[in-house]
Amino acid sequence: MPDSRISEIGAKLIAMDRSHHTPMAVPPVALVGISGYGQVLLTQLLKLAAGGELQLAAAVVINASEEAARCAQLQRDGTRLYTSAVLVGPQGLIGRYRKLHLFLNEKGFFQPGDAGLPVFDIGFCRLGLLICFDWIFPEAWRVLALKGADVVCHPSNLVLPGLAQRGVPVHALMNRIYVVTGNRVGTEGNLTYTGQSLVADPLGDVLVQASPTGEEAGIAEADVALARNKQVTPRNDVLADRRPEEYGGLCTP
């Protein structure tokens, strides 16, 4: 994708999907596809950030070259390879997330993430990252919420029809957070990607949703204060009312 296409959007946050497609743009949270993987992707993001053309970018890199991996310290750890998301801002690399839950044949190539579920304070909000199949695990969403995430960016190559698109807004509701899912469209080999990239708000409402097959752009407004209000009634708070002493089974392998 040309640099100008990204700078035209003028969003504070850009969550890349893992293809060359552009599902939507939703300032201050935007989903933008970018052509290229590894060194090309990281170099372009860092260049745009350094030039002030974007304030923040989140991207998934699944085929980083060894040089790119060293640059961002994100994929290769000795002989171990990870699917990773990187968060980039004007000062360069802000942080990374290694995908915890591997899908299907990914288990033959990658190691599951071992760096936890980080949350990054980027000034105007606090941001968490998940990747693709991570969506189905409620524990990951709750940990990010407990760590103070206002927004979770979720770049994806989803292929199971309609599942994540129904589940993600529920995670947004249950944790009272914004979720930005950027999903691929089109077909590659025997895989057809399900598109329908979306932004869901802390009430579980879908603010913007793309089509299953086309490249689209959309705009939605987000109020961070809504994500920081965890009350569902005057006497109930989705985080404060938890009973962690009764949830021991969640930590049982």
Task: Report residue 107: phi and psi, to 5°.
Answer: -65, -20
Q: So what CATH class is 3-251?
A: alpha beta
- Model pTM score: 0.77
The pairing of beta strand 231-233 with beta strand 80-81 = unpaired
For 204, which DSSP code?
S
Instruction: Choose between 68 and 159: higher pLDDT.
Output: 159
The ranges assigned to domains in the chain are 3-251
Model confidence pLDDT, tens digit, residues 186-230: 888 888 999 999 999 999 999 999 999 988 877 788 899 999 999
pLDDT tens track for 240-249: 999 999 999 9
State how far the Cα of 48 lies from the Cα of 3, in Å rounded to an integer.
7
pLDDT per position as a tens digit, 63-86: 434 434 444 333 455 567 778 887
Give the residue carrying structure tokens 């949350």.
Answer: 119
